[in-house]
Amino acid sequence: MPTPSIDLEAEKKEILRRYRGLLRAAVHSKSRKDRKAIRKAFDISLEAHKDMRRKSGEPYIYHPISVARVVAEELGLDTTAIVCALLHDTVEDTYLTLDDVEQLFGKREREIVDGLTKMSGVFDPGTSAQAENFRKMLLTLSDDVRVILIKLADRLDNMRTLDHMRPDKQQKIASETLFMYAPLAHRLGLYSIKTELEDLSLKYKEPADYDLIQTKLRKGKAVRTRFINAFTLPIRRALDASGISCQIIGRPKSVYSIWSKMQKQRVAFEEVYDVFAIRIILDSEHEKADAWRTYSIVSDFYQPNPDRLRDWISLPKANGYESLHTTVMSPSGKWVEVQIRSKRMDEVAEKGLAAHWRYKDDSQTVASAAKEESNQSSSENLNTWLKQIREMLESGEEDALDFIDEFKLNLHNEEIYVFTPNGDLFSLPKGSTTLDFAFRVHTQIGSRCIGAKVNHKLVPLSHPLNSGDQVEIITSRKQKPKDDWLGYVITASARSKIRHALRDEERSIASDGKEKLRKWMRRKELTYSSENIESLIKRLRHDSPHALLVRIATGELELDRLGGYTVVKGKFSWMRTKKAPAQETSERSKEIADPPEKGDILLIGEGLQKIDYSHASCCNPIPGDPVFGFVMVSGGIKVHRQNCSNATNLLSKYAYRVIKAQWSSRSAKQFEVSLKFTGIDDVGLVNAVTGVISDAMNVNMRAISFNSSDGTFEGKVKVLVTNTDHLKQLQEKLLDVPGVWSVERVDEG
């Protein structure tokens, strides 16, 4: 029963208003048949979710409507996708079944909704449900990419409404988003969705940094606007005079992008020089020619940086992105990034794969042969990537976590371009080797590769390639993939093919082992049965029948030397032996400690709690840091900071092993922290710094080091502090030392 404070009439009006907004957004679903299907899906979803509410207290139906609107408006997908977005939670959360979906809408809708429905209650203990669900979702790439696109829309709406979740849930969901969903959106060319997912993740993972950057961007908006207007004025006039129709906009970089630069370059916000970019969007029939004419006009007014020219029009990125980027020097001495692209390129850049489909299907949109050719080129890049993913999916990787790690390798940002001796062009992730290239050309060529010639020079399999290299692969019929090859490649496709070949080889070896075991059992009058094999596996402490058979085939296990048994009616009867101590069990056979109960909280520093925990060395948490506990495979709990470099990986893949943790008020220990400081080198600086630490703050030092170069210095010190407030006071005191520019906490891991 709803509470009296809920205005049901107002909610009905709001639901109707949102539904009408969805219809207005569905610009590619105008026919009566399309509208009828959307209305039907809306009515079914409304009825199925009628008694459900979100954490915010709002009717649950708001969520599927919002997801469907993202699918229609921001991705521009078809009626089938909108229908499935409205139904995406019904099978998982309500009485509706997949059979109902197929009967009401069709087989394709059933398959998409099935791909969007999470699995539950089917996992073995110690299995990552997150990884299994990631895998199920990604497997649908083989059938219908719309599953991934709707899932991204679903994740986007969840991130937009994350305020109402518990803090630990916010950390888990934000980590998952940064780990998998944002890179996936980037790889599919969904720039606007990728950017918003990253920004919203940062909002919950690093709230102070997020608010700081947002505030500085807001305060500097008026200054940026004046600068952009003055900078673009001569370009506008010259383009008009040349008869090039265009739109020029200035837009700030995303909060996450600015934050990443600050972290990588170790600089403050004010020192990030490319906080915004100028975008010139051409309304042109001759995209490539007009883009270069525009570049010529820009470089007439402003000096370009020759090292910062990026031509993604001649060679589009693998996700289909096309644009011409240059960085030029403004009259005020600031570097400014200028992006030049056509309207079609801009929509593809923002909406990625969905825009490719639309341009492919809509002959009215593509008005010229040049556009068709350009769009075909970038579509081929995406199709090539999807083909590689399908090959990886078909390899049959059994472990879900390994599967996700392999897939992550396909989400590279930077690419290189290499050529065959015949001049054929291939794109590969940056860091790829000759062996990656060999498998990229063909599986058989990769499997038989013994070396390569790069730019006519002989190189090994592990040789890293650079853009522009010409590569000739050398093969031998006698060559076979080897275990150490996995260390020579970085692409998931190559790793998957190598593992597949190794498994085939192992299966052949295991087949020989099976025959040896069968003959040996016949000699010993043992029945070749699953019961006897299981008994042998248990006795020898093997993981599986396959591992046992491989050891027999290779001679590592000599069956004739096996003792401690008698044969009773064709079965093993083992003699009792002294039980091995628990410590002798292999690391592989150890089980993960039981996951914590929901709601359990680890109190760090609480002496009454008899829980084995320790502080993670990768981030060295101290009292005052937001933290979480992570249950280890070997038992015990590691305490990590929420912004630890490993946190995103742990929270996104192993949430079932995460426990909430907080500092006890009784904790009065000292904790080791590493500080890094930089500044201008001067006589007496070392004494001044050590004086602040030891005398003014009475802090114990574990280690200190200084490096001086060309008038500047960089120092590192390990100190013992009691909590984050104590650490902050020390940092402020060090910043007061003349010559010290920055003081920051650094992780050892």
Q: Where are the domains of the chain?
A: 8-160, 214-381, 414-490, 500-579, 601-663, 671-746
Contact between residue 275 and residue 262 where contact means Cβ atoms under 8 Å apart: no
**Is 682 assigned a catalytic role?**
no
Q: Burial of 390 by CB count in 10 Å (0-12 exposed, 13-18 middle, 19+ buried)? A: middle
d(C-alpha 404, C-alpha 537), whole Å:
30
Rounded to 5 degrees, φ, ψ at 569 are: 50, 45
- The predicted-structure confidence for 458-503, as pLDDT tens digits, reads as follows 888 889 998 888 999 999 888 888 888 988 898 877 888 888 888 7
Which range of 169-173, 421-425, 592-596 scores highest in mean pLDDT? It is 169-173
* Top-confidence residue, 509 or 541: 509
Class of domain 414-490: alpha beta
Residue of 7, 43, 51, 92 marked active site: 92
Distance (Å, whole) CA 390 – CA 382 = 12
DSSP structure string for 229-291: HHHHHHHHHHHHHTT--EEEEEEEPPHHHHHHHHHHHT--GGG-S-SEEEEEEE--SSHHHHH
pLDDT by residue (tens digit) across 347-393? 888 777 656 555 444 443 333 444 444 445 545 555 666 666 666 55
For residue 46, which amino acid is it? L
Chain position carrying tokens 């008694």? 51
Residue from 481, 412, 267, 232 nearest 338 by CA? 232
The predicted structure's pLDDT at residue 320: 77
Calpha distance 324→279 (Å, rounded)? 10
User: And the tokens for 167?
Assistant: 């803090």
pLDDT tens-digit series, residues 108-138: 888 888 888 864 444 444 455 666 667 666 6
Buried b (16+ CB within 10 A) or exposed e, 475-501: beeeeebeeebeebbbbbbbbbbbbbb
DSSP bridge pairs for 340: 280, 324
We find that the CATH architecture of domain 671-746 is: 2-Layer Sandwich (3.30)
Handedness of CA 278, 284, 287, 293 (dihedral sign): negative
Secondary structure class of 111 (helix, strand, coil): helix
- Token pair 């032996």: residue: 577
What's the average model confidence in pLDDT over 75-94?
88
Q: Which of 580, 581, 564 is nearest to 572 (CA)?
A: 564
pLDDT of residue 296: 93
92 is catalytic: yes
Looking at 73, 93, 311, 372, which residue is catalytic?
Answer: 93
Residue 326: the pLDDT is: 92
In this model, does residue 423 exceed pLDDT 60?
Answer: yes
Closest to 295 in 3D by CA, of 285, 314, 280, 277: 280
Q: Band of the pLDDT at 748, cuts 50, 70, 90?
A: low
Dist. CA 656–CA 133, nearest whole Å: 13
Quick check: pTM over 0.75? no
Cβ-based neighbour number of residue 646 at 10 Å = 16
* pLDDT tens digits, one per residue of 619-633: 888 888 888 888 876
Kindly state the percentage of the chain with pLDDT values over 90.
16
State the Rg of the chain over Cα: 31
Q: Show the tokens assigned to 24.
A: 């207005």
In this structure, CATH architecture of domain 8-160: Orthogonal Bundle (1.10)
Residue of 269, 143, 161 lying closest to 215 (CA atoms): 269
CATH hierarchy code of domain 214-381: 3.30.460.10
